């Protein structure tokens, strides 16, 4: 009889093996996947009703292995699950249960991954994406990205503007802005269009000043906003949430970073060190005559 080995990582290994078993079993039905074409129009309402009843966050927390494994076992149990028969319905349920905001897909869009950059750069991005999926799902599920993209195309139509987002979409966005050092190539005509889009966004989003919500909407490739480049996104962002450049005024008035951060959070709900740099670039390009403080030289 083989002696069972119990070590410091034994429980973690068992958990990974259990997740792998249920994950492989679940995706074995993927050959019947039909690109979400046969889903009923009210599928999201049906899913949310069952999630609220059977899987409340108090009992099955978000971003946890417990929730992920519980959802998989529910979907695989034909006696317990009498609501969702097809694989399309099941994967839609899994997405709504684990990542309803499609944060994995949008995180990927903002990651900077490209087929045209050196492989070493993509390796770092891929590693960070794997960590993000693990923290979001509760375990690594490489399939989520593919199915989330298709789910997005099915349910987030052109022109859709999401008003409430809880996940962090601002961190990857600001990381993508570090390579932008000027707006010289953005002419006045493009600036006016971006300003009009910012006006449209404020009118059509119920939560227009929230940084994560606006970053989510900016990275939506099918959005009516149509913001194709990072410079356009930066200009749109500033025009939408701080057209009067109050962040620059805070920077000019305060003597240390702690006070700047405190006031930024109070007035904007967020602080990011690159935002000040981007606003200064914005001012120099489009409002060079604007004075930020009375101490500034003309």
Give the tens place of pLDDT for each residue, 80-106. 888 888 999 999 999 999 998 888 887
Q: What kind and span of H or E run contains 96?
A: helix 87-98
Q: pLDDT-derived band of residue 12, with 50, 70 and 90 as boundaries?
A: low
Return the number of other C-beta atoms located less than 10 Å from residue 102's C-beta. Answer: 26
Q: What kind and span of H or E run contains 53?
A: helix 43-54
Distance CA 278, CA 230 (A): 12
Q: What is the pLDDT of residue 297?
A: 47
pLDDT at 144 over 80: yes
Which tokens go with 96? 């709504």
Q: What is the pLDDT of residue 222?
A: 63
pLDDT at 3 over 90: no
Give the tens place of pLDDT for each residue, 22-62. 888 999 888 889 998 888 888 888 999 999 999 999 999 98
The model's pTM: 0.58
Which tokens go with 174? 């600001």
C-alpha dist (Å) from residue 39 to 32, 93, 137: 13, 11, 23
């Amino acid at each position: 009889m083989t002696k069972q080995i119990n070590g410091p990582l034994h429980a973690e290994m068992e958990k990974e093996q259990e997740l792998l078993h249920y994950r492989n079993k679940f995706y074995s039905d993927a050959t019947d996947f039909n690109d979400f074409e046969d889903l009923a129009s009210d599928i999201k309402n049906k899913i949310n009703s069952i999630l609220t009843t059977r899987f409340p966050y108090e009992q099955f927390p978000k971003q946890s292995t417990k929730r992920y494994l519980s959802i998989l076992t529910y979907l695989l149990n034909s006696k317990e699950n009498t609501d969702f028969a097809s694989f399309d319905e099941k994967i839609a349920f899994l997405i709504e249960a684990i990542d309803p905001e499609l944060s994995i897909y949008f995180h990927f869009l903002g990651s900077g991954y490209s087929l045209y950059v050196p492989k070493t750069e993509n390796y770092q991005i891929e590693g960070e994406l794997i960590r993000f999926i693990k923290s979001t799902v509760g375990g690594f599920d490489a399939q989520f990205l593919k199915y989330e993209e298709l789910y997005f195309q099915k349910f987030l139509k052109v022109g859709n503007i999401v008003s409430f987002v809880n996940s962090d979409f601002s961190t990857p966005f600001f990381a993508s802005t570090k390579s932008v050092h000027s707006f010289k190539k953005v002419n006045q005509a493009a600036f006016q269009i971006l300003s009009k889009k910012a006006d449209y966004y404020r009118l059509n989003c119920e939560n227009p000043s929230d940084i994560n919500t606006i970053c989510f909407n900016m990275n939506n490739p099918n959005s009516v906003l149509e913001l194709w480049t990072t410079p356009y996104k930066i200009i749109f962002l500033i025009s939408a949430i701080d057209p009067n450049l109050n962040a620059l005024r805070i920077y000019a008035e305060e003597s240390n970073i702690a006070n700047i951060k405190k006031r930024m959070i109070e007035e904007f709900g967020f602080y990011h060190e690159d935002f000040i740099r981007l606003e200064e670039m914005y001012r120099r390009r489009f409002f060079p005559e604007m004075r930020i403080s009375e101490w500034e030289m003309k």
